[in-house]
Amino acid sequence: MHEMSICESLIQVIEEQAKTKKFNRVKTVFIEVGPFAGIEIDALKFCFDIVCRNTLIESAKLEVLELPGKGWCFECQQEVNISDRFDPCPICNGFSVQSRGGDELRIKELEVY
Ligand SMILES: [Zn+2]
């Protein structure tokens, strides 16, 4: 389950920040996840609860903000919203859509004590 290793690296990042920004406890972790990141949000939350035991983010809440999918349609010459990497263009139904980003996973904000 790769959600487990994602959680472990999230915690590493947060622990680094705790050292530089000098906080000891985290209340809420806000993360942004792209629609093409291939992450199961439920699995991520499940792993987060396990991995954060006995760390400074123990009992912290994980808030996941799902980013919309974006692509560029070469036919319409504009940015369109897509929910899957291989979706057709919602305007012209063509398949000349190139997905843009969408596989990001980053910490947006930390609410600390
Ligand atoms: Zn189009």
The model's pLDDT over 71-113, given as tens digits with 9 standing for 90+, comes to 999 999 999 999 888 899 999 999 999 998 888 899 999 999 8
For residue 76, report the distance from its CA to the centre of ligand 1, in Å: 4
CA distance 41 to 7: 11
* The pLDDT of residue 1: 60
For residue 40, report the distance from its CA to the centre of ligand 1, in Å: 29
User: Average pLDDT for residues 9-31, to the nearest whole number?
Assistant: 94
For residue 1, report the distance from its CA to the centre of ligand 1, in Å: 36
Q: Where are the domains of the chain?
A: 2-68+101-112
For residue 68, report the distance from its CA to the centre of ligand 1, in Å: 17
* The pLDDT of residue 38: 87
For residue 96, report the distance from its CA to the centre of ligand 1, in Å: 7
Q: Which helix (H) or strand (E) holds 63?
A: strand 61-66
Percent of residues, the chain, with pLDDT higher than 90: 80
Backbone φ/ψ region at 77: left (φ over 0), alpha (ψ -120 to 50), beta: left
At the topology level of CATH, where does 2-68+101-112 sit? hypothetical protein PF0899 fold (3.30.2320)
Q: End-to-end CA distance of the chain: give it in Å, rounded.
A: 31
User: Average pLDDT for residues 51-70, to the nearest whole number?
Assistant: 92
